[in-house]
Structure 1
Amino acid sequence: MTFEDLGLRPELLNALTALGYEEPTPIQQEAIPPLAEGRDLLGQAATGTGKTAAFSLPVLQRLPAHRTDRPPVALVLVPTRELAVQVSEALHRYGRELGARVLPVYGGAPIVRQLRSLESGVDVVVATPGRALDLLNRGALQLGEIATVVLDEADEMLDMGFAEDLEAILDETPEQRQTVLFSATMPRRLDALARRHLRDPVRIALGREKAAPGEAPRVRQTAYVVPRGAKPAALGRILDVEAPTAAIVFCRTREEVDSLTETLNGRGYRAEALHGGMSQEQRDRVMGRLRGGTAELLVATDVAARGLDIEQLTHVVNYDVPSAPESYVHRIGRVGRAGREGVAITLAEPREHRMLKTIEKVAGAPIAVEKVPTVADLRARRLDLTRGALRESLLTDDLDRFRVVVETLTDEFDLMEVALAAVKLAHEAAGPVDDDEEIPQVSFRPERDGARAPAGRGGDRKPPARARSGGGAATRLFVGVGRDAGIRPGDLVGAITGETGLTGRDVGSIEIHQRFALVEVPESAADEVVQALRATMIKGRKAQVRRDRA
């Protein structure tokens, strides 16, 4: 199936072609047609399945080109400001030819600029719930013409304490709107929200299918958690350590294939690109170089690599977490054939933990999460390769013609010293380790829980976080709303994580009293949290926020 088969308008097809997208992912194939018709939809899908395009393209499909009215016609609610930026950028790229006016709305950005943009007129607002409710209460965000509301990563928004904010926002939108809800999990309270606000929804669940018996080959499966900006350097380092005979690196788009191929060639690898934008003659030449050993890396899209069977293939690399678990199983099936060992490597971003867990279940095998190799690891690996090369030479080569050199040198030097000098020369002949860039070591973002704690003496309490990221000193903040305003620990956690760069793990103990609350945050982020909470609403109320004087 192609994007043309989904009936998308020419402006969107042009944008997708320019971005290098070749075919819709499974969730896009299932979601785009009913959404374009105006149906409500309940989708269970994790990050990396292509769900952003699955709801963005239908929103833009129904948008009048170069619209001039001021109030927005679509609202996308997301749990974090990072996701708000990501979704708004995607909508802007897809809707460029339509003149789509997309505004990301989140805490930490100047509210004056957001107010000015809303006054000028927008088509789609992508917002965190706290800031959306703040703008709604100010009268700046008008929802009377909203035709579509999307709740993206809805389970995470509930976990962050945004349940009442979501209800308040939805109550301000027209009753006949289209409602779209995407979630990685479907807890009972989310199902209840869906029953209240969705009308006869189309239901889509992705990633539940089981792999066919025997489909998963003999493959060592590894994942590395890498920030997006560090992926090219991390991939180069991993390949240096793994030293594959031949490898396929899978990318999502043609653009990414071309860019990564250039980067890898600049690093000294013999890499070839393969994607749908190439002629059959070009593709045949690339495959000939790979099979002939003059190329060692093939950087490809799924579509272009279909049906490839490369006997010497030792490694498959997922540069991004695959868009569907089934794609992962098919990719790793290319190595480990005929009883040989193979290696499957996946570069995952910190927020893609759930998707990787889903893939593990479908693939029926654990995926070991390892740290990106350090410079020291790389140097140790190069020494191993030198040792292996020397051992092979000792076992297989005719070395007699070099005996006179060694015998002459041992008249002057110790035999061990002669051997050390020879090993040094052999090691340096492979090239120096000129990669001294330290790649940031990160981990998966912890799953946020609802942070709802039982009441105790002195007020409702949230236990101190087990390990605030980064460690260091904590500061207690005074927040001028408490039990009288219906405040719970989850409301404060949600407000802080939604309006700043902190996660739930960063928030320490919380005490909620009758008319105020006390919350611990890292000292390094205290001023940011104070400013963010002063600029937003907590359960629809403005609150005095300052460092605790006690």
Structure 2
Amino acid sequence: MTENAMESTTPAGGFADLGLRPELLSALTAVGYEEPTPIQSAAIPPLLEGHDLVGQAATGTGKTAAFALPILERLAAHERTGSGPRAMVLVPTRELAVQVSEAIYRYGNDLGIRSLAVYGGQPIGRQLRALERGVDVIIATPGRALDHIARGTLALSGLRMVVLDEADEMLDMGFAEDIEAILQHTPDDRQTMLFSATMPPRISGMVKRYLTDPVRIELARELPAEGETALVRQALYVVPRGYKPAALVRVLDVEVPTAAIVFCRTREEVDQLTATLNGRGYRAEALHGGMDQQQRDRVVGRLRNAAADLVVATDVAARGLDIEQLTHVVNYDVPSSPDSYVHRIGRVGRAGREGTAITLAEPREHRLVKTIERVTKHKLDPRQLPSVEDLRSRRSELMLAALRERLLEGDLDRFRAVVEPLTEEFDTVDIALAAVALAQQANGATAEEEIPEAPLPGSGPAGRGGRDLSMPGRDRRKSRPGTRGMTRLFVGTGRTAGVRPQDLVGAIAGESSLKGRDIGNIEIADRFSLVEVPDAAADHVIAALQGSRIKGRKATVRRERSQAR
């Protein structure tokens, strides 16, 4: 079969320029999509014209909408005849079947398009009743599709469109014969779309056999610009289900994100977890499909303006969010598909920003974790949950930094009327200690219990020998502030001057003999920063930075007072 030489150019505007009907545009707006991704811009026009198509795109590039939207557009343009499906999407896993089904439902709800996901492990009676009532789009794993064909409950004679999604994955899982058997029951004049992350020879053979004159689209994985690195730590904590809320709070207390999104599966879980976090002193906002656009905009605005610390969200509600201040993404539940995982963590680490992706997994979710690691070709870093002692130590560090910052700001005379009468009765240090205790109580510091370890099946205790409790910095470092062999330097400029960890690393590496990997943890406050360097290099770094500029400003550099010789 010959291949169409049609060019897949990107339309100048947004979704409205792709030829989609108003109902679909409204649905896209409702789920937060603003501009089509490259695969959507390239694939939707030729698919609307009825061409077969081969799309090669990495996981997490928006390919589900790239085929779902043209399917819905074409189905809505033609009257329904019979009760059999008019479109079918074959997928390798039940998780992906659910994800695609949910997407088609969201996009096509206003069009009255009926969709159904069928896969193993689900009660077949429910599927039989839905098929009897009639569906327009069926999303199926190959094995369950063949099962229904054999039962006579799935007729494909009226099929107009077929999608082979994650084709390379289906072949790797041994579905080649099943796919061939299924396609033999479909009309020869169907429109066929094949999407795959890779194009091994077996895929090329499938394209020649099942597609007619296809348009080819190949999108390479987007790489950071020269000189930029996507610095995303991907951490994994294994937690018994009953301890997950406590574990999340423990991790957040230690990580201290500037802004974070915590992902949950359901809106009920979003509401419950938001209440829990607010009860622990976090400024958390809920974001889910039960909210109108005005409410969602208000929540996102609060996070962008630092009026909120955390947004607890479902995947649907968080679509299209790009918040520059975002430092952390937390998977409160393991995503049901690698696509969802990549979409979530892709919100940090963009354009060279640092970021941390944290996943809280229950022991029973080990297969989902392994699937994510296999598809993304990245192993999540197993960590041990911070202990009660770790948490206390972290709170003390943060309190010390906050006090130092407040002392540098000055304007404290108005509080003398409170403190001076007490000095006649109590020691000054004791007064300060009492003030710190009250401040910690006001910030929600409460008694903590240890959380039991729960390793994934087949592994040792999570994170043993690999604990990292550092502040968000340039990347995961081997030590914490004050660790033996490292000296903390005080740098007299901070967040209000726009200083980022990479600015400090760049200044030190550029002016001294240290390399970036030699630099330890970095903590940035509003008016100053603390940077770890090896003990032996501390004086050298201080001398090298004298007179230099960081973000265009001269800054005082010295040993931190508590470590000054």
- Give TM-score, length-normalised by structure 1: 0.59
The one of 378, 391, 395 aligned to 1:382: 391
The one of 84, 96, 104 aligned to 2:109: 96
Deviation sequence 1:245-302 (CA, Å, 0-9, x none): x2254989xx99x9799565465323579999569x9799848953xxx654578968
Closer, same or farther: CA 110–202 of 1 in aligned 2, 3 Å: same
What amino acid maps onto 1:40 in structure 2? D
Closer, same or farther: CA 428–216 of 1 in aligned 2, 3 Å: same
Q: Single out whichever of 53-62 and 177-186 deviates more from structure 2.
A: 177-186
Closer, same or farther: CA 384–162 of 1 in aligned 2, 3 Å: same
**In 2, are the aligned partners of 1:32 and 1:54 still within 8 Å (CA)?**
yes
Where does structure 2 lack aligned partners over 5 or more consecutive residues?
A: 1-12, 332-339, 361-367, 413-418, 461-565
The one of 126, 135, 138 aligned to 2:148: 135
Q: Is 1:59 matched with 2:50?
A: no
Where does structure 1 lack aligned partners over 5 or more consecutive residues?
A: 334-341, 358-366, 410-417, 446-466, 470-550
Closer, same or farther: CA 314–106 of 1 in aligned 2, 3 Å: closer
Closer, same or farther: CA 226–389 of 1 in aligned 2, 3 Å: closer
Displacement of 1:191 in angstroms is 2.3
Q: Is 1:330 matched with 2:355?
A: no
The one of 136, 159, 171 aligned to 2:184: 171
Displacement of 1:406 in angstroms is 5.6
CA distance in 2, matches of 1:273, 1:408: 42
- Where does residue 506 of structure 2 map in the other structure? none
**In 2, are the aligned partners of 1:316 and 1:343 still within 8 Å (CA)?**
yes
Greater relative CO, 1 or 2 (CA 8 Å, sep 6+): 1
Aligned ranges 1:18-417 → 2 under 5 Å: 18-64=30-76, 67=80, 69-216=82-229, 219=231, 221-224=233-236, 236-244=249-257, 246-247=258-259, 249=261, 265=278, 267-271=280-284, 277=293, 286=302, 289-290=305-306, 295-297=308-310, 305=322, 315-317=327-329, 321-323=341-343, 329-330=349-350, 332-333=352-353, 342-345=354-357, 347=359, 350=369, 351-353=371-373, 356-357=376-377, 369-371=380-382, 374=385, 377=386, 379-388=388-397, 405=426
What amino acid maps onto 2:327 in structure 1? H
What amino acid maps onto 2:102 in structure 1? E
**In 1, are the aligned partners of 2:87 and 2:162 still within 8 Å (CA)?**
yes
Displacement of 1:63 in angstroms is 0.6
What amino acid maps onto 2:397 in structure 1? G
What amino acid maps onto 2:389 in structure 1? A
What amino acid maps onto 1:36 in structure 2? L
**In 1, are the aligned partners of 2:86 and 2:158 still within 8 Å (CA)?**
yes
What amino acid maps onto 1:83 in structure 2? L
What SS does the corresponding residue of 2:226 show, helix, strand or coil?
coil
Displacement of 1:430 in angstroms is 4.3
**In 1, are the aligned partners of 2:280 and 2:444 still within 8 Å (CA)?**
no
Deviation sequence 1:103-138 (CA, Å, 0-9, x none): 222223343443343333221111111121122233
Displacement of 1:100 in angstroms is 1.4
Q: Single out whichever of 163-172 and 268-277 deviates more from structure 2.
A: 268-277
CA distance in 1, matches of 2:428, 2:459: 63
Closer, same or farther: CA 407–354 of 1 in aligned 2, 3 Å: closer
What SS does the corresponding residue of 2:234 show, helix, strand or coil?
strand
CA distance in 1, matches of 2:379, 2:437: 34
Closer, same or farther: CA 121–440 of 1 in aligned 2, 3 Å: farther
What SS does the corresponding residue of 2:380 show, helix, strand or coil?
strand
Closer, same or farther: CA 324–247 of 1 in aligned 2, 3 Å: closer
Closer, same or farther: CA 186–236 of 1 in aligned 2, 3 Å: farther
What amino acid maps onto 2:209 in structure 1? R
Deviation sequence 1:70-99 (CA, Å, 0-9, x none): 121111111222322332232222222222
**In 2, are the aligned partners of 1:211 and 1:326 still within 8 Å (CA)?**
no
Q: What CA RMSD, in Å, does the superposition of the two structures yield over aligned residues? A: 5.0
**In 2, are the aligned partners of 1:88 and 1:102 still within 8 Å (CA)?**
yes
CA distance in 2, matches of 1:35, 1:50: 15
**In 2, are the aligned partners of 1:261 and 1:272 still within 8 Å (CA)?**
no
What SS does the corresponding residue of 2:50 show, helix, strand or coil?
coil
Q: Single out whichever of 106-115 and 428-437 deviates more from structure 2.
A: 428-437
Displacement of 1:17 in angstroms is 2.7
- Give TM-score, length-normalised by structure 2: 0.58
What amino acid maps onto 2:55 in structure 1? G
Closer, same or farther: CA 86–315 of 1 in aligned 2, 3 Å: closer
Displacement of 1:408 in angstroms is 12
Displacement of 1:41 in angstroms is 1.9
Displacement of 1:383 in angstroms is 0.9
**In 1, are the aligned partners of 2:164 and 2:195 still within 8 Å (CA)?**
yes
Displacement of 1:51 in angstroms is 2.1
**In 2, are the aligned partners of 1:66 and 1:98 still within 8 Å (CA)?**
no
**In 1, are the aligned partners of 2:57 and 2:221 still within 8 Å (CA)?**
no
What amino acid maps onto 1:130 in structure 2? G
Displacement of 1:47 in angstroms is 3.8
**In 1, are the aligned partners of 2:329 and 2:345 still within 8 Å (CA)?**
no
**In 2, are the aligned partners of 1:36 and 1:61 still within 8 Å (CA)?**
yes
**In 2, are the aligned partners of 1:27 and 1:206 still within 8 Å (CA)?**
yes
What SS does the corresponding residue of 1:62 show, helix, strand or coil?
helix
Closer, same or farther: CA 439–262 of 1 in aligned 2, 3 Å: farther
The total of aligned residue pairs comes to 407
Displacement of 1:179 in angstroms is 1.1
CA distance in 2, matches of 1:325, 1:44: 21
CA distance in 2, matches of 1:439, 1:195: 54
Aligned ranges 1:509-524 → 2 under 5 Å: none
CA distance in 1, matches of 2:450, 2:68: 37
Aligned ranges 1:392-471 → 2 under 5 Å: 405=426, 430-433=443-446
**In 2, are the aligned partners of 1:226 and 1:234 still within 8 Å (CA)?**
no
CA distance in 1, matches of 2:180, 2:262: 41
Deviation sequence 1:347-401 (CA, Å, 0-9, x none): 59734335644xxxxxxxxx77334663xx1633321134325766998979997
- Where does residue 29 of structure 2 map in the other structure? 17
CA distance in 1, matches of 2:201, 2:88: 24
**In 2, are the aligned partners of 1:271 and 1:296 still within 8 Å (CA)?**
yes
Closer, same or farther: CA 222–426 of 1 in aligned 2, 3 Å: same
Closer, same or farther: CA 261–100 of 1 in aligned 2, 3 Å: same
**In 1, are the aligned partners of 2:101 and 2:116 still within 8 Å (CA)?**
yes
What amino acid maps onto 2:227 in structure 1? G
Closer, same or farther: CA 58–233 of 1 in aligned 2, 3 Å: farther
Q: Is 1:8 matched with 2:17?
A: no
Closer, same or farther: CA 325–117 of 1 in aligned 2, 3 Å: closer
**In 1, are the aligned partners of 2:32 and 2:321 still within 8 Å (CA)?**
no
CA distance in 1, matches of 2:304, 2:117: 47
